[in-house]
Amino acid sequence: VHVFAIVPANAAQIARIHQRAARRRDVIALAGGLPCDELFPRIALAAAFARTSADEEALQYGWPEGMRALRAWIAERLAARGIAVAAEHVIVTAGAQQALALVAGALDVDRIAVGDATYPAALAAFARSGITAVTTGAPVRYVIAGVGNPHGVDVCDRSALDGEVVIDEAYTELRFDGRDDRLVPHDSERTWRIGTLSKTLCPGLRIGWLVPPPRHHARVVADKQAADLQTCSVAQSAAIRLLATIDYDALIARARSHYAARADRLATALRRACPELRFRDPEGGFSIWVETDETGDDVALLEAAIAAGVSLDPGCTFRCDGATSHVAFRLSYSHAAMCDLDEGPRRLARALAAWRRGPRPS
């Protein structure tokens, strides 16, 4: 058993800082990338949960690949977007994160290309399977389709997608323009496709999916079984009921306009409070990726931000080498109160000024 590096080396330190900040009501949370609680379909969820205890399947052990009705819904949803996969090839996972961990365990490569910045927990999953994430030049590529995380815009270079590819569709349906067709057609022989209900429905269910190339299906199902036997039956059963009763497209349309308004609000406030920062207006998803030409310790920037009453996700956590060649950070508009999206950037401006002055003698 090899102990692989945790990426970045200071991940545990950053996690501790975030946990402390999360307990403080006076810190505006622009860290984390949580979906907005107001969008969860609570009444429909209550009805779905209430009925799970009458469902024999919901309380008992199930098969590792997940419930048939849920796999069928996933396959149909993909088919509606022009992606032809059979329900037999879909594996229900404990969120998209477990799908990433399963892909990492099944890929027979030692490097994966991830671009300049990407989802930190994907880097963690790759590292644990001994796969080195690199910015470019690897036999497999990991892409977050439609809306990059942390970028908030589509950063996928389609010309680089001619090899094996892991397509993470966590935010694909949350493009503000509704264009979710940007990476089809689906080449089943070389595509690992990952999706989730966490961003559109609610993360607490922990329902995601993985569609591996069919030749890898049996092996991945066995890996899934070794990992946790099966995805939570109660959650699967509730999701099946819920998806049969709600208008999922309407839910997504509402989420798009909700997040688009927040993205606009944060971008406007940020441009006003911190005119020196570089960022692109989000095309979807939950966050803005801010880049600077400055160098320095971005964990110190996180600490300065929290001292000023606002949290952020430091750029090093998104880099495959944990590097801070230039300081960057992610700001999430998805979960904060609307008024906090105005105040957050003002606090950030003070934090940046303090951070630029460097540590005060203590």
- Selected from 78, 113, 144, 235, the binder of its own copies by CB under 8 A is 235
- Selected from 154, 169, 223, 298, the binder of its own copies by CB under 8 A is 223
Q: Which helix (H) or strand (E) holds 244?
A: helix 233-245
Asked if 52 is part of the footprint of its own copies (rule: CB under 8 A), the reply reads yes
| Binding region for its own copies (CB under 8 A) out of 45-53, 180-188, 269-277, 339-347 | 45-53
What phi and psi values does residue 56 have, to the nearest 5 degrees? -55, -45
Residue placing its CB nearer to its own copies in the complex, 41 or 309: 41
Asked if 165 is part of the footprint of its own copies (rule: CB under 8 A), the reply reads no
Asked if 63 is part of the footprint of its own copies (rule: CB under 8 A), the reply reads yes
Q: Helix, strand, or coil here: 141?
A: strand
Query: How far, rounded to the nearest angstrom, does the alpha carbon of residue 313 sit from its chain's CA centroid?
Result: 13
| Binding region for its own copies (CB under 8 A) out of 160-168, 181-189, 214-222, 346-354 | 214-222
Residue placing its CB nearer to its own copies in the complex, 184 or 234: 234
Task: State the nearest-atom distance from the C-beta of 151 to its own copies, in Å.
Answer: 20
Asked if 234 is part of the footprint of its own copies (rule: CB under 8 A), the reply reads yes
Asked if 149 is part of the footprint of its own copies (rule: CB under 8 A), the reply reads no
| Binding region for its own copies (CB under 8 A) out of 32-40, 71-79, 80-88, 341-349 | 32-40
The 8-class DSSP code of residue 352 comes to H
Q: In the range 260-319, which residues lie near its own copies by CB under 8 A?
A: none
Q: Are 37 and 336 in contact (CB under 8 A)?
A: no
Tokens matching residue 20: 């402390």
Residue placing its CB nearer to its own copies in the complex, 1 or 26: 1
Asked if 164 is part of the footprint of its own copies (rule: CB under 8 A), the reply reads no
Q: Are 212 and 220 in contact (CB under 8 A)?
A: yes
Contacts of range 219-225, beta carbons closer than 8 Å, 24 or more positions apart: 219/106, 220/91, 220/102, 220/106, 221/64, 221/65, 221/91, 222/64, 223/102, 223/105, 223/106, 224/64, 224/65, 224/91, 224/93, 224/98, 224/102, 225/64
Q: Are 239 and 197 in contact (CB under 8 A)?
A: yes
Task: State the nearest-atom distance from the C-beta of 229 to its own copies, in Å.
Answer: 5
Q: In the range 180-209, which residues lie near its own copies by CB under 8 A?
A: 198, 202-206
Task: Give the separation between CA 248 and CA 244, rounded to whole angstroms.
Answer: 9
Q: How many CA atoms lie within 13 A of 274 on its CB side?
A: 22
- Selected from 79, 84, 218, 338, the binder of its own copies by CB under 8 A is 218
Task: State the nearest-atom distance from the C-beta of 222 to its own copies, in Å.
Answer: 6
Radius of gyration of the chain (CA): 20
Task: State the nearest-atom distance from the C-beta of 215 to its own copies, in Å.
Answer: 13
Asked if 227 is part of the footprint of its own copies (rule: CB under 8 A), the reply reads yes
